[in-house]
Amino acid sequence: MARVHTVQQILQIFIFFTLVLCSITSLVSANRDLNEDNWKEILEGEWMVKFYAPWCPACTALAPAWRELAARAGRSKLSLRTAAVDVTRSPGLSGRFMVTALPTIFHVKDGSFRQYKGPRDVESLLSFVEQARWRQAAAVPGWQAPDSLQMSLVAELFKLSQALRTVHTTLMETYGLPTWGSYLIFAIATIFIGAILGLVLVCVIDLLYPPRRAHKLQLSQAELASARSKPDEEELIAEDIVDDSERAGSDAERHSASDTSSEGGAPSGDARPERTDTPAKCDDDPKAISVGVT
């Protein structure tokens, strides 16, 4: 009898630990910790995602309700799963979702994102899913979706800002630099990096769009040659004009000389005097006689 009693106790303990293990396993599987590597899992199915930080008091107050939500979602017939993002460990995800306040809750349904802005108790969270109240909330537009290209760039900027903040903290706490000293180092580094990037950009532009200096030089030489040839052409034109004027002058002189010779008394060449008949009267002869007078 003692052995039978001992076996029953062992079976009870085994069953108890099995149930505890199953509940812990379901709770862990429901509370999925998201990071930069596995966050795309929420693009399929229905999820409730919480963004939190360990130093946030409101996030700490939400933790019990979130654990209960995960447990009830696992026991219910809903296909709902819960996930959580620690923004201190995954700053890129906070940039993708444009999280500006903590805690922030998103409802995700087959890749469609909606921010939950209702009460943060378990009943309100469950009714938001069971009664499909998420249909009344406006979905995040496509250009602002976490899986878009522009939000990927924003995520990288958030990562860079977090890295710079870590460096700033290290310079002050580890090396004992004052705040202005850390800012001075960042300013010098920014100027130096900007100069390098500007030089690289200029080189790339020159490589893609080379300057047309040779073409401009050829054009300038051609213009210079044409400018030099213009005076010669003008001189030739002037000489032609002078020759034409001289010829015109000589012709005018010839014509004027011939006119003066014809108008004067002295005959020239084959020019003969004209003969005129004038009537004359003689006192002795009563009749009029026509004589030719030269």
- Which residues carry out catalysis? 56, 59
| DSSP conformation class of 134 | G
The dihedral region occupied by 132, where left means phi > 0, alpha psi between -120 and 50, and beta the remainder, is: left
CA atoms within 13 A on the CB side of 182: 16
Q: Which residues of 280-289 are buried (b: 16+ CB within 10 A; e: fewer)?
A: eeeeeeeeee
Q: Is 135 helix (H, G, I), strand (E, B) or coil?
A: helix
CA atoms within 13 A on the CB side of 89: 12
In terms of Cβ atoms closer than 10 Å to its own Cβ (0-12, 13-18, 19+), residue 124 is: middle
Rounded to 10 deg, the angle between the 57-75 and 2-30 helix axes is 120
For 117-212, where are the alpha helices, taking DSSP H only?
Answer: 122-130, 149-173, 179-208
Task: Render 224-281 in DSSP notation, one character per residue.
Answer: HHHHHHHHHHHHHHHHHHHHHHHHHHHHHHHHHHHHHHHHSSS--TT--PPPEEEEE-
Alpha-carbon separation of residue 290 from 165, 284, 294 (angstroms): 143, 15, 13
Query: To the nearest 10°, the Cα dihedral for 117, 121, 124, 129?
Result: 80
Q: Which two tokens stand for residue 269?
A: 């060449």
